[in-house]
Amino acid sequence: MSTSATEPVAAIEPPQTVEGWYVLHEAFHLDWPRWRALSTDQRHTAIDGLLGWLRRDAGSGAGDSAGDSAAYAVVGQKADLLFLHYRPTIAHLHQAQTARQRLAIAAYCRDAGSFVSVTEASLYEAGAHARAALQRQGLSPSDPGYADALERETATARRGLEQRLRQPIPVRSHLCWYPMSKRRGEQHNWYAMTLDQRRHLMRGHGQLGQLFRDQVTQVVSGAIGLDDWEWAVDLHADDPLTFKKLVTAMRYDGASAHYAEFGPFWIGLRQDDEGLRRLLS
Amino acid sequence: MSTSATEPVAAIEPPQTVEGWYVLHEAFHLDWPRWRALSTDQRHTAIDGLLGWLRRDAGSGAGDSAGDSAAYAVVGQKADLLFLHYRPTIAHLHQAQTARQRLAIAAYCRDAGSFVSVTEASLYEAGAHARAALQRQGLSPSDPGYADALERETATARRGLEQRLRQPIPVRSHLCWYPMSKRRGEQHNWYAMTLDQRRHLMRGHGQLGQLFRDQVTQVVSGAIGLDDWEWAVDLHADDPLTFKKLVTAMRYDGASAHYAEFGPFWIGLRQDDEGLRRLLS
Amino acid sequence: MSTSATEPVAAIEPPQTVEGWYVLHEAFHLDWPRWRALSTDQRHTAIDGLLGWLRRDAGSGAGDSAGDSAAYAVVGQKADLLFLHYRPTIAHLHQAQTARQRLAIAAYCRDAGSFVSVTEASLYEAGAHARAALQRQGLSPSDPGYADALERETATARRGLEQRLRQPIPVRSHLCWYPMSKRRGEQHNWYAMTLDQRRHLMRGHGQLGQLFRDQVTQVVSGAIGLDDWEWAVDLHADDPLTFKKLVTAMRYDGASAHYAEFGPFWIGLRQDDEGLRRLLS
Amino acid sequence: MSTSATEPVAAIEPPQTVEGWYVLHEAFHLDWPRWRALSTDQRHTAIDGLLGWLRRDAGSGAGDSAGDSAAYAVVGQKADLLFLHYRPTIAHLHQAQTARQRLAIAAYCRDAGSFVSVTEASLYEAGAHARAALQRQGLSPSDPGYADALERETATARRGLEQRLRQPIPVRSHLCWYPMSKRRGEQHNWYAMTLDQRRHLMRGHGQLGQLFRDQVTQVVSGAIGLDDWEWAVDLHADDPLTFKKLVTAMRYDGASAHYAEFGPFWIGLRQDDEGLRRLLS
Amino acid sequence: MSTSATEPVAAIEPPQTVEGWYVLHEAFHLDWPRWRALSTDQRHTAIDGLLGWLRRDAGSGAGDSAGDSAAYAVVGQKADLLFLHYRPTIAHLHQAQTARQRLAIAAYCRDAGSFVSVTEASLYEAGAHARAALQRQGLSPSDPGYADALERETATARRGLEQRLRQPIPVRSHLCWYPMSKRRGEQHNWYAMTLDQRRHLMRGHGQLGQLFRDQVTQVVSGAIGLDDWEWAVDLHADDPLTFKKLVTAMRYDGASAHYAEFGPFWIGLRQDDEGLRRLLS
């Protein structure tokens, strides 16, 4: 009999999370020989269609046009082009995908990988942060009205996070994105630890991230129940060496060393309209 | 010598199960450029054929026409279209599959994955439920006729389950489906635990599922001996964020944290006739 | 240093086995659009060729024509057609394969998987069975001539097995076949147990199989040194639900729970000439 | 912190090895429909080219023409044809490969797998064998000149091995080849054992091989640093059942039970010129 | 609960590293039949284009033209051609890749694998080396100005390394390249060891490498955050047997035996202009 069979089923508490926009990464190989066989006019028309699609789908206004889109050239053979989409709903992501399939350039593209997720912030530290804020305002837990103030503070913080999770795609010249999961090994199992244990590990992990905040903008999106890995991590930076430095530092960090499983790493060079025209002409 | 070699071979009791309709998930990529190269008429005729096939095979009457079928648009590059079929027998599933291969649209579809299973309810709690029902009726184990009443109660419950496992596909706007197996690791091995240990874990798992029952309709189908994973889980919901919330909560639950192995996650948007026409035109 | 390094190298005895006919499973996708584009006459001629091949290669007489062949329609996207061949030698299997490549229909088929094995019975219980037979005949180990009688009894049993391993393919409407291996994990390692330990586990495994013998005909073939898994298991039944019930029961059995690794599961519907004509027309 | 972190870094000694000819396994699928669409003349010319290539590249003379080549028909869907090449250098292997790409039949072949290695004998027992040889000659370690005699004996043995590793491909009707590696698991790790421990395991392994030497000719080639597995094993026999018997016996042997990881198993039927003509016509 | 959950989160220090040029490995299959169907003139023009691209992109001057490129023929079916590029930035690697896609020969090439990395030296021993250098100069830690001298010495050493990481591709006839990662197993976890423990293992590893330095030029490039493995190792030698000898010796070394995970091994034969012309004509 397995030793685990007699373990009590601990009441494990998942972290609270806040979600924002849904995210679609979609990568493509371009069939260069067939693409180059087109006339210059045909190629220009197809590029115009692609740029129009990126712009039309990249409005950052309210409602249906909310969200953002960006294009990247991919280094190495994983893909030629990578599109990153932020949208208010999964149905909007599907609209962007359907519109892309109707572009003239779609006939020259071959699927190279995709990932569906939703921007996410975990609230491991939310309680601590709210209490610290009240302390800065001179409030003490023994004050009358402390509980109400704590609740207001927490709600304000959550609204701030929700806002932060609906920002346009950071504009940096390089992108590093990769999917990851937390390990559920027979000995090291993230999902069998208590909330306190996980909070402790996430705190160290977060402090490490802070060291790189000037060089790298990090966007985490959750994918449990949505795709095959549990999270997507997007790092945006102007110097790609910081990807190596940051991911290396993280790998020696307790939360990652024992508990992270990494998927493929994709490196992209952000392309504005002019860049896409040059790349595709 | 392996330590396990001297372990007694415990008499492990499998759970009792009740089965209903057989289930086929089948996903496809559409060759958009070739599909769009058809004339509008040809496309409409092909779409009519597809809709007719879905309707003809989706009768919920008795006998050969029993069962249900539904169509989904898939988000991301895993597939373009996903069809879900419920049928009384495996031979009926094969009929649906064969009829699909003869549709005009089949020439523009490429296989993207399939799964064969049968709707299933496990009876871990059947005995407890039957005894509770008799207690609610004022019967006590010492009453004459208790054993007969228990047997009748159990048979009635089983018939109720069998009925419940032959219901049409839940009508919700979003589908999340994934295959899974129970871990047979060297240390954590679901199949080496006693029935009581598994019942205990499944109880917690079920209570968690109950918390989401208003937002999500869950259909479990068994695939041991039928396909490469042991179960398929279908979650039907109107808000896809509940997929993330439910699967996350489950992942921290004892039955899943230690014993679940997950396959790919597929996200679909349910398409009625009008939706399919719009998607494919 | 690894703890295992100082372990004595136990003299592990492999089980004795008896082998019969060689077995080839070969599965194919059919290119339906191209196949349907043929004229009715061309299709009929190609189907006639296929049926002739199955019959010619399916003689159950002696010598070169010994063996059997059967055709199955596959449920799900793993394949469209599955052929199962029994032959006296591997060279005969290759002849069947070569003849198939020359059929007109071969131009419309794409490989979907194959497996090479040889029907096998392991003799874990052979000694015990022979002694029991002599006991039934009133012979006791102290009788003069017991040793000779035991040898004759064992040889007779072996010939009976060899005969049993050269029977035609069981005729049942459904087939479930899957490859499997015994685990060689770091802790649970089938090949590090003694013959007695394995005999004990196989006995329980066999008793379980006996419970289903009226509903399922099981054919085990060995593939160590022949293909990528160690065994193929073919279950033949008229009700496919028994596949689920049998494989589930086995999975909780000691020999499987700790020591079995399973490959893909294939479900086929047996097709006679008429069935193949209907499927392919 | 990992427990292994405080382990002393033992001075582990690799085995001495002797190498001979380089080896290339290369397998191909044949596009039968396109191949059969050729005229008889075109096919014959292409077959002549193939046979000429095998002969020209199969000279067993000295220098550039040294080495050997052989052709096999593969059973099952792994491939149709397998070529086995022995050559003095890797550059010669590449020449054979380049010449093959220029054959007319190459336009009808599709890659099905390859493996690069070099014939190898490990000298785990070399010292013991040399000392035993001197003892048979009546020399004792206390004799003057023993050290010199031992060195001469060892050098002679090494030259004998080098010769043995440059023999033509064994001529038997059946081939079984598979790649393998030694396990580097967290608990069972071949590369963390001492030379003595490995020598002990290899001795048992070798004795087992001796039991089959009349039925099977075994050629081991090393691939560490050359390809994705650490060794290739080629078994040549006239009765393919001996592949099953030998590999099964090995699997229960201490060196394999705990430390071997096996790749795919390929079964080939050796084809002389006449066999290739028949297969391809 | 997992035992690891109560472990303190040790403050693990990553090694300091110095980086030089970025590296792209890109491998291709050539479509020989289509390539040979070109006229001799068309092939020559396409080969000229390829050679021009290699030369233009292989300048070792300053600025945009800095870096190097080399071409290899690959042995076995992994690929036909392998290009190795060194460039000052990832954007320059992408330029080389884009220019290659525009070559006439690109229409006959199919992707066979790529890897993105950056040449790297780890400074595990930097402090020790600097202190040893000062000692050789007669300086002792108690001398005034020792701290300043140590800092200057360290900076000089780092500049030397940076220079060494921007050298052209070593010119040897054979290349062996493979990606690798450090193990993050549940028991053996490189990233959970202290800097001292890792330094100790790397020292033994380095000493082993020194034994082969006359026969093999080794270039290590880091890929954490850039591609799917953590490092690429390129071995350049004139005798490919030294690849086998070196990698075997390393495999028994403490740093590799317990902590290395290896990807595929590629063997290439360096091709100058004349070699490429011969190979492709």
CA–CA gap between residue E136 and residue A52 (Å, rounded): 67
Q: What is the mean pLDDT of chain A?
A: 90
Sort out which chain E residues have CB atoms less than 8 A from D226's CB and list them. Answer: 176, 240, 243-244, 265, 267
pLDDT at E60: 42
Given D86, D124, D178, D259, the catalytic residue: D178
Most confident of B120-134, D169-183, D201-215: D169-183
Using CA coordinates, name the residue in chain B closest to A225. Answer: B244
What would the mean pLDDT of A262-278 be, rounded to a whole number?
Answer: 97
Question: E76–D192: do the CB atoms touch at under 8 Å?
Answer: no
CA–CA gap between residue E108 and residue B78 (Å, rounded): 28
pLDDT at B57: 58
Q: Which helix (H) or strand (E) holds B20?
A: strand B17-30
pLDDT at B65: 62
CA–CA gap between residue A96 and residue A84 (Å, rounded): 11
The whole-angstrom distance between E157's CA and the closest CA on chain D is 28
Question: B91–C269: do the CB atoms touch at under 8 Å?
Answer: yes
Question: B90–C240: do the CB atoms touch at under 8 Å?
Answer: yes
What would the mean pLDDT of C53-62 be, rounded to a whole number?
Answer: 63
> B30 has which bridge partners?
B109
From E248, E257, E279, residue closest to D225, measured CB to CB: E248
Question: D90–E247: do the CB atoms touch at under 8 Å?
Answer: no
For the cut 80, the answer to whether the pLDDT of residue A3 exceeds it is no
Estimate the crossing angle of helix A146-164 against helix A126-136, to 10 degrees: 120
Question: C1–D193: do the CB atoms touch at under 8 Å?
Answer: yes
pLDDT at D1: 31
Q: What is the mean pLDDT of chain D?
A: 90
Using CA coordinates, name the residue in chain A closest to E100. Answer: A32
The whole-angstrom distance between D241's CA and the closest CA on chain E is 30
Sort out which chain B residues have CB atoms less than 8 A from C76's CB and list them. Answer: 24, 26, 97, 114-116, 227
Question: A191–B77: do the CB atoms touch at under 8 Å?
Answer: no
pLDDT tens, residue by residue, C76-92: 999 999 999 999 999 99
DSSP state of C160: H
pLDDT at B9: 45
pLDDT at D7: 45
pLDDT at E3: 37
pLDDT at C65: 62
Least confident of A12-16, C176-180, D49-53, E43-47: A12-16
From D2, D97, D98, residue closest to E189, measured CB to CB: D2
For the cut 90, the answer to whether the pLDDT of residue C245 exceeds it is yes
CB under 8 Å to C156, separation ≥6 — which residues?
none
pLDDT tens, residue by residue, D120-143: 998 888 888 888 889 999 999 999
From D33, D80, D186, residue closest to C107, measured CB to CB: D33
For the cut 80, the answer to whether the pLDDT of residue E10 exceeds it is no
Question: B194–A24: do the CB atoms touch at under 8 Å?
Answer: no
Q: Would you say C96 and C114 are in contact if contact means Cβ atoms under 8 Å apart?
A: no
Question: C279–B5: do the CB atoms touch at under 8 Å?
Answer: no
Using CA coordinates, name the residue in chain B closest to A22. Answer: B241
User: Which site among A184, A198, A230 would you substitute to test the B interface, given the most B Cβ atoms closer than 10 Å to its Cβ?
Assistant: A184
pLDDT at D126: 81
Estimate the crossing angle of helix E241-251 against helix E195-211, to 10 degrees: 150
Question: D7–C1: do the CB atoms touch at under 8 Å?
Answer: yes
CA–CA gap between residue B213 and residue B31 (Å, rounded): 38
Model confidence at A96, pLDDT cuts 50, 70, 90, reads very high
Token digits of residue A36: 């180059």
pLDDT tens, residue by residue, A30-43: 999 999 999 999 99
Given A86, A178, A191, A252, the catalytic residue: A178
Q: What is the DSSP string of A133-167?
A: HHHHTT--TTSTTHHHHHHHHHHHHHHHHHHHTTP
Model confidence at C11, pLDDT cuts 50, 70, 90, reads low
pLDDT at B123: 86
Using CA coordinates, name the residue in chain C closest to B228. Answer: C264
Using CA coordinates, name the residue in chain A closest to B76. Answer: A114
Q: Give which of A70, D6, A192, E201 is closest to B255, Cα–Cα.
A: A192
Supply the Cα-derived Rg of chain C in whole angstroms: 22
Least confident of A9-13, C182-186, D160-164: A9-13
From D33, D267, D279, residue closest to C226, measured CB to CB: D267
Phi, psi of D53 (to 5 degrees): -60, -45
Q: Would you say B81 and B27 are in contact if contact means Cβ atoms under 8 Å apart?
A: yes
Model confidence at A124, pLDDT cuts 50, 70, 90, reads confident
Where does residue A216 rank: exposed (0-12), middle (13-18), buried (19+ CB within 10 A)? buried
CB under 8 Å to D255, separation ≥6 — which residues?
D201, D202, D204, D205
For the cut 60, the answer to whether the pLDDT of residue D61 exceeds it is no
Question: C192–B90: do the CB atoms touch at under 8 Å?
Answer: no
Question: E176–D106: do the CB atoms touch at under 8 Å?
Answer: no
Q: What is the mean pLDDT of chain E?
A: 90
Q: Give which of B169, B174, B161 is closest to B67, Cα–Cα.
A: B169
Sort out which chain A residues have CB atoms less than 8 A from B211's CB and list them. Answer: none
CA–CA gap between residue C190 and residue B208 (Å, rounded): 38
The whole-angstrom distance between C195's CA and the closest CA on chain B is 11
CA–CA gap between residue C120 and residue C222 (Å, rounded): 6
pLDDT at D207: 85
The whole-angstrom distance between B247's CA and the closest CA on chain A is 6
CA–CA gap between residue E187 and residue D1 (Å, rounded): 9
Direct distance between the N- and C-terminal alpha carbons of chain D, in angstroms, rounded to an integer: 65
Given E72, E178, E252, E259, the catalytic residue: E178
Low-confidence ranges of chain B (pLDDT < 50): 1-10, 59-63
| 3-class DSSP state of B33 | helix
> Catalytic residue positions of B?
178
For the cut 60, the answer to whether the pLDDT of residue E183 exceeds it is yes
From D13, D94, D186, residue closest to E75, measured CB to CB: D94
Question: C241–B19: do the CB atoms touch at under 8 Å?
Answer: yes
Question: A225–B204: do the CB atoms touch at under 8 Å?
Answer: no
Model confidence at C95, pLDDT cuts 50, 70, 90, reads very high
For the cut 90, the answer to whether the pLDDT of residue A203 exceeds it is no
User: Which site among E36, E258, E262 would you substitute to test the D interface, given the most D Cβ atoms closer than 10 Å to its Cβ?
Assistant: E258
CA C158-C160-C163 angle, to 5 degrees, is: 110
Q: Give which of A77, A38, D97 is closest to E109, Cα–Cα.
A: A77
pLDDT at E226: 98
User: Which site among E252, E269, E271, E281 would you substitute to test the D interface, given the most D Cβ atoms closer than 10 Å to its Cβ?
Assistant: E252
Sort out which chain E residues have CB atoms less than 8 A from A197's CB and list them. Answer: 5-6
CA–CA gap between residue C276 and residue C81 (Å, rounded): 10
CA–CA gap between residue A107 and residue A43 (Å, rounded): 12
Token digits of residue C240: 């496919």
Where does residue A118 rank: exposed (0-12), middle (13-18), buried (19+ CB within 10 A)? buried
Sort out which chain B residues have CB atoms less than 8 A from C189's CB and list them. Answer: 2
pLDDT at A167: 95
pLDDT tens, residue by residue, E195-238: 899 998 988 888 888 899 999 999 999 999 999 999 999 999 99
Q: Would you say B216 and B242 are in contact if contact means Cβ atoms under 8 Å apart?
A: yes
From D187, D248, D254, residue closest to C224, measured CB to CB: D248
Least confident of A195-209, E56-70, E197-211: E56-70
Single pTM value for the model: 0.93
Q: Which chains, if any, share at least 3 CB pairs under 8 A with chain E?
A: A, D
pLDDT at C60: 42
Sort out which chain C residues have CB atoms less than 8 A from B113's CB and list them. Answer: 77
Question: B24–C75: do the CB atoms touch at under 8 Å?
Answer: yes
DSSP state of C184: B
From D4, D97, D184, residue closest to E75, measured CB to CB: D97
Q: Which residues of E touch A (CB under 8 A)?
A: 1-6, 9-10, 12-14, 17, 19, 24, 26, 89-91, 93-94, 97-98, 101-102, 106-107, 111, 113-116, 118, 184, 186-187, 189, 191-192, 222-228
Using CA coordinates, name the residue in chain D closest to E271. Answer: D91
> Catalytic residue positions of C?
178
Report CA torsion sign: A121, A127, A131, A137: positive
**CB–CB contacts below 8 A, B to C:** 119
pLDDT at E5: 39
pLDDT at A101: 94
